[in-house]
């Protein structure tokens, strides 16, 4: 909850704004503080040449190079074209995803989890203007033949659109077998939680960047497309739309935690 609140206080997290850079630094410092006692942890910026906001990557190095990626975009936008001065709190889109990832990091560190495989947590820059940050990262990983065995994207996790589904798996620009695996994780670890399938209809988030490079990717989403939070990309994307709680996002944190641990086996 506090992570969503803090990220929402920046005027915006637009990829070309000063506050977009400041918010990236905040995420960097938060993740650094959570892993400060671990010598297997490395946090770094992935700098982009065409804009100032960096992506943030936290690596928990395992004994093998096989890599699991848990990511979400850090930037926010208001209006179709946005801008450096527009108010864009982005509480759901996508402070909620970054907060969910942060909670996974916190739980793993609190339990002194030592992975066998390598785990990378990513906060992508410039998603709202064409998945630009994740495109550069995924392209770079493919060029270097990085052995990424699974990617989960967390983009909008805190608005419960209806009572039919708690979590919705998007089937386009994703890996069918991995989606089934994530569904089994939900059935196994999240009890009576209800989940289903839907389609974005386009490459709606950073999972598409990884999918397009041939990596298995999934995006568990907060609701069906018709019932999602329609306050996004406006100054109304605030925490009060989700009743000032992070209870829906907590379900995604549990799912993402199970994804990381089960792929690490």
Question: Catalytic pick from 48, 73, 207, 211?
Answer: 73
Question: Catalytic pick from 75, 92, 127, 198?
Answer: 127
Question: Catalytic pick from 128, 136, 146, 198?
Answer: 128
Task: Specify whether 240 is catalytic.
Answer: no
Task: Specify whether 128 is catalytic.
Answer: yes
Task: Specify whether 127 is catalytic.
Answer: yes
Q: Return the residue matching tokens 């929402």.
A: 8
pLDDT in tens, 110-168: 999 999 999 999 999 999 999 999 999 999 999 999 999 999 999 999 999 989 999 99
pTM given for the model? 0.98
Question: Catalytic pick from 75, 93, 146, 198?
Answer: 93
pLDDT in tens, 90-101: 999 999 999 999
Task: Specify whether 233 is catalytic.
Answer: yes
Task: Specify whether 155 is catalytic.
Answer: yes
Question: Beta-carbon neighbour count of residue 66 at 10 Å?
Answer: 17
**183 Cβ contact partners less than 8 Å away, ≥ 6 residues apart:** 169, 195
Angle at 173 between CA 254 and CA 122, to 5 degrees: 50
């Amino acid at each position: 909850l506090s992570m969503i609140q803090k990220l929402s206080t920046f005027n915006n997290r637009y990829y070309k704004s000063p506050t977009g850079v400041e918010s990236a630094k905040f995420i960097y410092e938060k993740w650094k503080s959570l892993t400060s006692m671990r010598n297997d942890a490395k946090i770094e910026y992935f700098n982009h040449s065409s804009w100032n906001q960096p992506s943030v990557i936290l690596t928990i190095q395992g004994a093998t190079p096989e890599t699991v990626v848990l990511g979400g975009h850090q930037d926010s936008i208001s209006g179709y074209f946005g801008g450096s001065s527009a108010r864009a709190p982005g509480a759901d889109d996508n402070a909620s995803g970054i907060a969910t990832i942060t909670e996974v990091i916190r739980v793993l560190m609190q339990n002194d989890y030592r992975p066998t495989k390598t785990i990378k947590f990513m906060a992508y820059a410039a998603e709202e203007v064409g998945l630009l940050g994740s495109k550069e990262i995924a392209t770079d990983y493919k060029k270097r033949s990085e052995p990424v065995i699974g990617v989960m994207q967390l983009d909008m996790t805190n608005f419960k659109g209806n009572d039919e589904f708690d979590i919705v798996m998007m089937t386009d620009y994703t890996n069918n077998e991995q989606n089934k695996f994530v569904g089994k994780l939900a059935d196994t670890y999240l009890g009576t939680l209800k989940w289903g399938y839907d389609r974005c209809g386009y490459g709606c988030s950073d999972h598409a960047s990884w999918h397009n490079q041939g990596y298995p990717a999934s995006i568990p989403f907060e609701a069906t497309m018709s019932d999602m939070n329609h306050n996004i990309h406006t100054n109304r994307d605030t925490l009060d739309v989700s009743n000032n709680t992070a209870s829906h996002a907590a379900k995604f944190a549990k799912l993402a935690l199970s994804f990381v641990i089960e792929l690490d086996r």
